[in-house]
Amino acid sequence: MLVDVSLTIPAGQRVLLAGPSGAGKSTLLRAMAGLLLTADHGELSGQVLVGGREVNETPGRVGLLLQDPLAGVVAETVGRDVAFGLENRLVPRDEIWRRVASVLAATGFPYPPDHPTAALSGGETQRLALAGSLVLSSEVLLLDEPTSMLDPASAQLVRDAVRRETARRGTTMVMVEHRLEPWLDFADRLVVIGRGGELVADGPPHEVLNREGASLAAQGVWVPGLPTPELTLVEPGLVEPGLVGFPTCQGISPGAAEAIMTADGIRVTRRASLTGSRGTQIVALDGVDAALRQTHALAVTGSSGAGKSTLIAVLAGLQKPTAGQVTSADHLAPSRRRGRERRPWKWRSLELGSRLAWVPQISESGVVASTVFDEVMATSRALGRDETQASRRADELLEALGLRHLRAASPYHLSGGEQRRLLLAAALVHGPQGLLLDEPTVGQDRATWAAVLGCIASAQSAGAAVALATHDLEAVTALAADRLRLEHGKAA
């Protein structure tokens, strides 16, 4: 929600837009792009003018990079996806492919134009979306957290490309970012939206931070130079694994460091098929060993496309390995006629969901309910958990993660950061033994970052086994996590 936000942005100005998670930053970008009446609902007043005309009357002048990069993928191959906007503008074919090649080179994209989009990781898709935005040479470029899913090296390539291309073209730019420091020497202006959706700061970046840094940090803004916030831990009873009444999880010692899931020599290959062809075989993992251990956290790091998300999916029982073995501890395995089934990818959905919880990289893809509260309760209800006990945990976790006031809202109306916190709450309520998390801190401000990691650390201390794919090295340090670095599908 935004409240009486008025801005005048001169042509060619570069604006950094900051504020707490859920303050309305992405909504403001969508308003600037003229999209609020296409997918949103609610009360709308005010207007957005570009060059003195309503934004909806000026097609092509404003380009928007969405927070969810998958939302912008429209074609089977990288080249066709980047070319899509130019084709709609009826740009001559030869010019289209010259510009596509130029922008892919400018953004340091690691694959050729005929590479399948289905074979890209989340971070690679984010870079593809940026290329698709830059190729249009729009007068106004709106970027919603363009480096949030990228490793440091890839993020630097993106920053370099944005700096170079916008400066060369004189583009007016408005960019949402939580981590301000890498952009401060490039931005002309820092605009901050407060928790209530109001404008709370506006001016040259260093002046704003020098004048109002303390108050902005208190609202959750990642003010450069401040120490990492302390984790906001929660009561162990809210996040402890193995709720009473679930016999297959009894007998587990919370203080033990036993491996509940072990992966040995895992290889995963997949074929990204194109229409009318056999497609491309992708080796996502090649000979990787890993283990989920009680009371421990395993941080899976590495560059974009290294195989982090695939390994998390394997450990979560959602991906069958092409070769190698992934097996559970005997006490976790469900009973079968011929003994216990220790291969998690063979478990039935209720068996899997009762033991392990997975939070995906693209948060909206994990939403299954129509309200925030029902989303948090969905797994517990499917498993037949005690409604009173699960409801108490749900409400207290929503409070801890700053979502209690959104209890009756639709998950689809939440910001990206709020959706990630919602899915974390939903993963914890039913008391899983293992937590598999894919980029859980993306889109979080200082306060919500501390709350997210506080819940994870509390569950870990209470006996859960945790694995997270992440580029957030501060999170790795805060959780005192073991590290497994992947590069090109192999342990580095």
pLDDT digits (tens, 9 = 90+) for 440-487: 999 999 999 999 999 999 999 999 999 999 999 999 999 999 999 999
pLDDT digits (tens, 9 = 90+) for 146-182: 988 888 888 898 899 899 888 888 999 999 999 999 9
Is residue 223 included in any domain, yes or no?
A: no
Is residue 325 included in any domain, yes or no?
A: yes
Domain termination residue (choose one: 188, 218, 248): 218
Is residue 332 included in any domain, yes or no?
A: yes
In sequence order, the β-bridge partners of residue 485 are 301
Is residue 4 included in any domain, yes or no?
A: no
Residues 214 and 241 reside in one and the same domain: no
Q: Is the pLDDT of residue 247 over 50?
A: no
pLDDT digits (tens, 9 = 90+) for 60-101: 889 998 888 777 789 999 999 999 999 988 999 999 999 999
Domain termination residue (choose one: 152, 186, 218): 218
**So what's the pLDDT on residue 270?**
85
In sequence order, the β-bridge partners of residue 17 are 176, 191
Residues 245 and 182 reside in one and the same domain: no
The percent of residues in the chain predicted with pLDDT above 70, rounded, is 95
Q: The domain containing residue 200 runs over which residues?
A: 14-218
CA dist list (Å): 319 to 315, 323, 383: 8, 12, 22
Is residue 229 included in any domain, yes or no?
A: no
Residues 212 and 241 reside in one and the same domain: no
Residues 313 and 383 reside in one and the same domain: yes
Is residue 197 included in any domain, yes or no?
A: yes
Return the sign of the alpha-carbon dihedral for residues 237, 243, 244, 250. Answer: negative
Predicted TM-score of the model (pTM): 0.91
Is residue 53 included in any domain, yes or no?
A: yes
pLDDT digits (tens, 9 = 90+) for 107-117: 888 899 988 89
Please answer whether residues 176 and 17 qualify as being in contact, where contact means their C-beta atoms are separated by less than 8 angstroms.
yes
Compute the distance between CA of residue 486 and CA of residue 467 in angstroms, rounded to an integer: 14
Number of separate domains in the chain = 2
H/E stretch holding 340 = strand 339-340
Residues 187 and 285 reside in one and the same domain: no
**So what's the pLDDT on residue 273?**
63
Residues 185 and 256 reside in one and the same domain: no
CA dist list (Å): 401 to 177, 393, 426, 448: 20, 12, 11, 7
Residues 191 and 245 reside in one and the same domain: no
CATH of the domain at 468: 3.40.50.300
Residues 241 and 301 reside in one and the same domain: yes
Q: Which amino acid is at 75?
A: A
Domain termination residue (choose one: 218, 245, 275): 218
Residues 149 and 294 reside in one and the same domain: no
Residues 170 and 141 reside in one and the same domain: yes
Is residue 287 included in any domain, yes or no?
A: yes
Residues 247 and 292 reside in one and the same domain: yes
Q: What are phi and psi of 352, to 5 degrees?
A: -70, -50
Residues 178 and 57 reside in one and the same domain: yes
HEC sequence for 297-329: EEEEEECCCCCHHHHHHHHCCCCCCCEEEEEEC
